[in-house]
Chain A
Amino acid sequence: MPTYKDMVQPVRASEAEMRKIHIEPVPDDQKCEKAIQYLDEIRKKYRSFVMAMESCVKCGACAENCHTYLGTKDPRNIPTNRAELIRKIYKRYFTLEGRWFGKLVGAEDISLDVIEEWYSYFYQCSQCRRCAMACPFGIDTCEVTFIGRQILHWLGIVPKLHMGVGAAMEKVGNHTGLPKPGIVDTLEFLSEEIMDEFGVEVNFPVDKPNSDILYIPSSADYLLNPYTLMGAGMYFTYIGANWTIPSTVSEAGNFGLLFDQYFTQRHNVTRLLDAAQNLGIKKIVWGECGHGWRAAKMYIPSLADRPVNWPITHIHDEVAYHIRTNQLKLDPNKVDHPTTLHDPCNYTRACDLQENLRTVIKACVADFREMYPNKERTFCCGGGSAILFDDPEMYQRRIQLSAKKAELVRATGVGKDGNGYLCAPCSICKAQLYPMVEEHELGVEVKGLIDLVGKALVWK
């Protein structure tokens, strides 16, 4: 099933599953009409979208700056062509030139085929914004795919993966569907691990009232990236913080950003603000999650439905601050592997975290090698916006989408002796790179950044 005509597509949620995330799927014979209606409503709201529709000169400068085009050579993966999938409809229905001149200016009637194209190509975009950086005008194709995915969502077309995450978040407050007892158990287990491996006593307080700091980990850290959570726990213990993890929102990610910026995204924000209020905290600190940090830092101010009384910072902002002020004793020789840093695009293009990441990694790693292009010019790992699909066709695409990153990692030489570290401080980057470093045989192990802080801390 996951192909339509010549296009690959992620497995989609069933109608019953769509109802779980509050959407009544639109029947096929009404999809076109509804799509136009939703597009009309939304174009009147988002200027970032209107500008992408109305001021592109089709110069093609964005093409070679998008890893999806580089990896697949599929012309519909050129950013402006991705946007064109919706622009041709926009022109046809909402501009004079499109109504009068049609094909000549690239306008086209809507059809189910077009909607299927949207589904395929908007879910190959990792919403990494590299095109916005490359474009002479700064046209952000990510804003177009946000809106494309939003319309698809309202039509009832969402990948099973994203639906599942949205539903789990609403049910238990995290993406992996881990209920509070599971969280507490896992954290106790992690405490024991830390004691065994590092010989220090770290407790992970859950829902502790009157805490000063609310730490929001990525739920993937409980099972997939335990060292990330361990590193965070060790750091907070080391500095003597009065901190807690909320069981009601034990999730740094927010898939709403990626497919539904209305209900789903706001729902996480509401949970967060409730938790902050109930636990009486003073500051919110975010864990390692790229899109989640972007959703928190850049979107909470405009999505919150009440005043936000708590400053929100990223754990690496705080670690970097403690390093710059010489408050942490770190021994970079404890991490003796050649290490390179994959800049998660959501941190470095959307959130301006690039310098702090470097402050932290240089303090924790003896043999650190930059990967170029880096910082805000970084290429996405190919998993961005959670296109981490496992069915064979999409998995093949993921390998292609990560090809550019693999080339850059190889160029750093850290994996030459097979003992390199690829530091990727974002849950989605990690989930993408764990299998991809194997597929591309890079000779590196994928690590989080706070993992390395945990390893490098000197306790006595």
Chain B
Amino acid sequence: MSWFILQVLPYITVTVFTLGILYRLGRWAGARIVHNITLAPFPQNNSQVVGIFATEVIFFRSLFKSDFALWVGAWVMHIALFSVIGGHLMGIYTLGKQFVYIGMSEGLSEAMSSLLGTTFGIVVFFALLYLLFRRMSIQKVKEVTVTSDYLILILLLSIVTAGDIMRLVPSLSMEYAPAKEYVTYLVMLQPIPATAEVLHNVIFVIHLLLVQLLLIIFPFSKLMHILGMFAERWIINRPYTEPAPGLPNVDVPAARAAGLGLPAEGGVE
């Protein structure tokens, strides 16, 4: 079973994930932007458009203004999740020495990587709990929720829980080195030796199983909002050039001098 999850499933996952996303993007690209429906205040040029995209992606500006309570949970969750994903990539690739690039010593970098990873792992966990609680307790949010919305949150929570267990329970922990070794086998299309540590850590196997499940459903779920947001804003935040004001053959001072509108015997006032 562990062997299937760690050795076979990843290739299936990557295939489904990639093709699935391409399929969804293809569907979006097939439909067109029929009318200009840019949203006011209209950006005047492309750098203003970039500004809108940036503040929306980095700060969730619209959400901040429209639903602050959700913004707190969602923004914290996203920042922490993004950091965790970044930490996975960098930490595993450099074996925790990523902060050496910004001038730390190797030992300090490893400690830093470990501290930040654990912290953000816990933050994501509580932020997700907050989102789940919000979904179950606020009437209007309950009313827009379907079963899959709960399931995705629960799936994410389970992934994070498994990860946090490995972080927090020393006997179940997983170092960067064996993880890197494992990823290297996968990338090089080589079989994993039966003795590899990853195959014998149950929590790690569960963690990977759940992550792959998430990646498999990703293209067929609302998680596509990550790309959807760019596609949607590409429609509603586009530059617009106003036609020049000013009416043809209108000379107001001349009209006033000619007394237009005023009857011969003089108007009011």
Which residues of A are in contact with B by a Cβ distance under 8 Å? 43-52, 54-65, 69, 75, 78, 80-81, 84, 95-97, 101, 103-106, 129, 132-140, 143, 195, 198-202, 212-213, 234, 237-242, 282-283, 285, 298-299, 301-303, 311-313, 317-318, 320-322, 327-328, 348-354, 375-377, 458-460
Contact = CB atoms under 8 A, between A and B. Distances in A.
Given A46-B32, A75-B143, A351 B74 contact: no
A140 B227 CA distance: 16
A65 B260 CA distance: 48
Given A51-B228, A313-B245, A351-B40, A78 B31 contact: no
B75 to A, nearest CB: 10
Nearest to A45: B31
Nearest to A81: B144
B70 A59 contact: yes
A135 B39 contact: no
Interface stretch (B92-100, B162-170, B174-182, B229-237): B229-237
Q: Which of A61, A106, A199 has the most CB of B within 10 A?
A: A61
A257 B148 CA distance: 35
Given A134-B62, A139-B232, A352-B240, A78 B249 contact: no
A138 B232 contact: yes
A242 B35 CA distance: 32
A48 B60 contact: no
A459 B268 contact: yes
A122 to B, nearest CB: 17
Given A312-B243, A352-B41, 16 more contacts: A45-B31, A48-B37, A55-B225, A59-B141, A60-B138, A63-B141, A96-B220, A104-B147, A105-B147, A213-B248, A303-B35, A313-B243, A318-B247, A321-B245, A350-B37, A458-B269
B252 A63 contact: no
B255 A137 contact: no
Interface stretch (B6-14, B22-30, B121-129): B22-30
Nearest to B20: A96
A240 B147 contact: no
Contacts of B231: 47, 51, 55
B224 interface: yes
A43 B31 contact: yes
Nearest to A56: B222
14 contacts: A51-B235, A58-B146, A63-B141, A75-B143, A75-B144, A78-B143, A103-B147, A106-B147, A199-B268, A282-B249, A302-B34, A313-B245, A321-B245, A352-B40
Contacts of B220: 95-97
Contact of A240 (B222, B255, B267): B255
Contact of B268 (A103, A198, A234, A317): A198
The winner among B31, B149, B240, B242 for most chain A CB atoms within 10 A is B31
Nearest to B43: A352
Contacts of A95: 220
B146 A460 contact: no
A132 B233 contact: no
A200 to B, nearest CB: 4
A59 B228 contact: no
Contacts of A55: 222, 224-225, 227-229, 231-232
A45 B33 CA distance: 8
B34 A45 contact: yes
Contacts of B70: 59-61
Interface in B92-136: none
A298 B232 contact: no
Contacts of B190: none
A320 B149 CA distance: 49
Contact of A51 (B28, B56, B148): B28
Nearest to A324: B245
Contacts of A199: 263, 267-268
A175 B137 CA distance: 48
A57 B150 CA distance: 11
B141 A60 contact: yes
B115 to A, nearest CB: 30
A137 B225 contact: yes
A49 B31 contact: yes
B31 A240 contact: no
B35 A298 contact: yes
A377 B261 CA distance: 39
B206 interface: no
A97 B37 contact: no
A84 B33 CA distance: 22
Given A44-B30, A136-B229, A138-B62, A59 B255 contact: no
